[in-house]
Structure 1
């Protein structure tokens, strides 16, 4: 059984705002336990969270051993004020403040640091990313600070510029990584960075009527082609579904993600070994 290399236990796959509201007065153990049970029932024993601003993933880490789950979390993600990321964490406005956020996460038991360097997919404009991206110099300094504090870096990043900046900075894992071109994939292949594509965050939107399927198909085709190239190039890749995102349910999400890889690459021991190696790489890198 594969582990889940990218989840958000604060979310429920149905309604983000409602899910967050359930924890406004402190992490709700009942809800957290329900999500942990969903992993346990499917034999999933490893979960890497992407963080949140309310301490929910931190509490999940405390409860997870009861369910036989090795739970890793950054506690919260770190984003620049005015840029994408408030949904999962805390902000900074200067590098000094970023450093204090890193120390804050460490003090709260973070296994690694998560940074937000770009927005998300613009479903109404194929190839575009929402909002502003961080400049390469900023990303490099953020990664340097985290590494100097002995912390690995998980980076939420999309788009050619964003991915190249993250790779040059030396991030340890690349989350999402949509719209990479050939040169960027070559950079990824030459690095030790693990790519976690989170394919089903888009695939599972098909038929939802949240977006037109016609707008989703080009994104899916682009991601699928890059996964094929990554496999051929021997890029480090691990499976993570972004569980908790809309229509991506805890426990089921990683099974959907593995099925997506099977649809793209076929069902073979070589594919499964490749993904397992990526997961083991994540486990080795992202621990306190």
Structure 2
């Protein structure tokens, strides 16, 4: 099985795809893709059997909930996060790596219609509000950039992400702590 191969190749954690991505064609939706809830449960159990943790690319309430309920270590992205999904993350101490800047960068590069750009900006604002709620609810947070775009300006994107965390209402000293300790804590088992 591929999970065993990954472990034998030195992996400590694997990333699965629990959903598609935010659609620029149909605002408010996630593109098709990702594993089903049953498949996610199987992957998390199988990874755990081999001593591996699982991170889940997940957008939309159903995918976020399925991944968190299956026992993933973290939710990556988490666009269209809901209060109900956030409660599950808080209860289960599932990390959230919100990558807020990734959506902003993607829409800046897209040839999206004006109404789509307006919707995406609203979603970014809502996402920042959810990051603030997550912080106040005790959801463990880590910083990530999802820097897969062509220019790969890692440092700048990381700094942008920290500014977005501050924009979500998290105090600057706490953002520094999340930046320095969140990723380490996420990757520890």
Name 2:105's counterpart in structure 1: 204
Please list the CA deviations of residues 91-120 of structure 1 after superposition, one character each: whole Å capped at 9, or x if unmatched. Answer: xxxxxxxxx111121222222121111111
Match 1:218 to one of 111, 122, 125 = 122
Name 1:141's counterpart in structure 2: 42
Match 2:131 to one of 212, 215, 227 = 227
In the alignment, the residues of structure 1 paired with residue 143 and residue 72 of structure 2 have an alpha-carbon distance, to the nearest angstrom, of 17
Q: How far does residue 132 in structure 1 lie from its aligned partner after superposition?
A: 3.6
In the alignment, the residues of structure 2 paired with residue 123 and residue 176 of structure 1 have an alpha-carbon distance, to the nearest angstrom, of 16
Aligned-pair Cα RMSD in Å: 2.0
Contact kept, 8 Å, 1:204 with 1:247, in 2: the verdict is no
Aligned residues: 186
Contact kept, 8 Å, 2:128 with 2:167, in 1: the verdict is no
Name 1:109's counterpart in structure 2: 10
Could you say which structure has the greater relative contact order, defined with CA pairs below 8 angstroms and 6 or more residues apart? 1
In the alignment, the residues of structure 2 paired with residue 248 and residue 221 of structure 1 have an alpha-carbon distance, to the nearest angstrom, of 24
Please list the CA deviations of residues 68-104 of structure 1 after superposition, one character each: whole Å capped at 9, or x if unmatched. Answer: xxxxxxxxxxxxxxxxxxxxxxxxxxxxxxxx11112
TM-score normalised according to structure 1 size: 0.60
Q: Where in structure 2 are there 5+ consecutive unaligned residues?
A: none
Secondary structure at the counterpart of residue 166 of structure 1: helix
* CA spacing shift, 1:101–1:108, aligned 2, 3 Å: same
> Comparing both structures, which one devotes a greater share of its residues to helix?
2
Structure 1 stretches of at least 4 aligned residues deviating more than 4 Å after TM superposition: none
In the alignment, the residues of structure 1 paired with residue 62 and residue 109 of structure 2 have an alpha-carbon distance, to the nearest angstrom, of 30
Match 1:118 to one of 5, 11, 19 = 19
* CA spacing shift, 1:242–1:192, aligned 2, 3 Å: same
> Quick check: which has more Rg, 1 or 2?
1
In the alignment, the residues of structure 1 paired with residue 35 and residue 110 of structure 2 have an alpha-carbon distance, to the nearest angstrom, of 32
Please list the CA deviations of residues 154-203 of structure 1 after superposition, one character each: whole Å capped at 9, or x if unmatched. Answer: 11111111011101100011101111111111111101211101111112
* CA spacing shift, 1:190–1:247, aligned 2, 3 Å: farther
Name 2:176's counterpart in structure 1: 272
Match 1:165 to one of 66, 72, 76 = 66
Please list the CA deviations of residues 118-164 of structure 1 after superposition, one character each: whole Å capped at 9, or x if unmatched. Answer: 11111222321101443211111110000000001111111111011
Name 1:178's counterpart in structure 2: 79
Q: Where in structure 1 are there 5+ consecutive unaligned residues?
A: 1-99
TM-score normalised according to structure 2 size: 0.88
Contact kept, 8 Å, 1:265 with 1:271, in 2: the verdict is no
Alignment of 1:1-288 (within 5 A): 100-205=1-106, 207-211=108-112, 212=114, 213-245=117-149, 249-265=153-169, 267-285=171-189
